[in-house]
């Protein structure tokens, strides 16, 4: 579970990301494809729309951290859709690394260990929710 302090850290960090959302999304995808070039094939060649969707979804989740139950159905639906796109469980780890790296690079010295830990917990909760929702969709597709 997230503490009030962790929620406040993540939300204050996100408020700093919003003004640089386009650059942050570019940095994220550049790093993601650097970590695993094979992931590039899961996306359309033009990432403009995807970058906007990424920032909106993260913003939605971050703003709902005080009431995670509110965001769970949307995150589960996202996990199911991602399974249909060919996303597998191992990809979530790579995405988490790219996300934390992007935040560290974008926020600089203010993104200390406490911030990284809080974001790691948030991402873990969201990724686990997406993975759990994706498993039945993946299993159904395999039959």
Condensed to tens digits (0 to 9), the pLDDT of residues 83-126 reads 988 999 999 999 999 999 999 999 999 999 999 999 999 999 99
Condensed to tens digits (0 to 9), the pLDDT of residues 15-58 reads 999 999 999 999 999 999 999 999 999 998 899 999 999 999 99
Condensed to tens digits (0 to 9), the pLDDT of residues 133-143 reads 998 866 666 66
pTM: 0.92
Half-sphere exposure of residue 46: CA atoms within 13 angstroms, side-chain side? 2
Task: Evaluate whether 122 touches 60 at the Cβ level (below 8 Å).
Answer: no
- The structural domains of the chain, ordered by start, are 4-142 (1.10.490.10)
* Alpha carbons 131 and 129: distance in angstroms, whole number: 6
What pLDDT is recorded for position 137? 64
Q: What is the arithmetic mean of pLDDT over 71-92?
A: 93
């Amino acid at each position: 579970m997230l503490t009030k302090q962790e929620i406040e850290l993540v939300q204050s960090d996100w408020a700093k990301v919003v003004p640089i959302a386009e650059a942050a999304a570019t940095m994220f995808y550049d790093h993601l494809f650097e970590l695993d070039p094979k992931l590039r094939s899961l996306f359309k060649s033009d990432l403009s729309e995807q970058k906007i969707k990424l920032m909106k979804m993260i913003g939605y989740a971050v703003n709902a951290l005080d009431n995670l139950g509110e965001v769970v159905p949307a995150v589960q639906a996202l996990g199911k859709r991602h399974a249909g796109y060919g996303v597998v469980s191992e990809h979530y780890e790579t995405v988490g690394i790219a996300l934390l790296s992007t935040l560290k690079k974008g926020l600089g010295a203010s993104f200390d260990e406490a911030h990284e830990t809080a974001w790691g917990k948030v991402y873990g909760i969201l990724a686990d929710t997406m993975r759990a929702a994706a498993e039945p969709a993946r299993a159904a597709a395999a039959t």
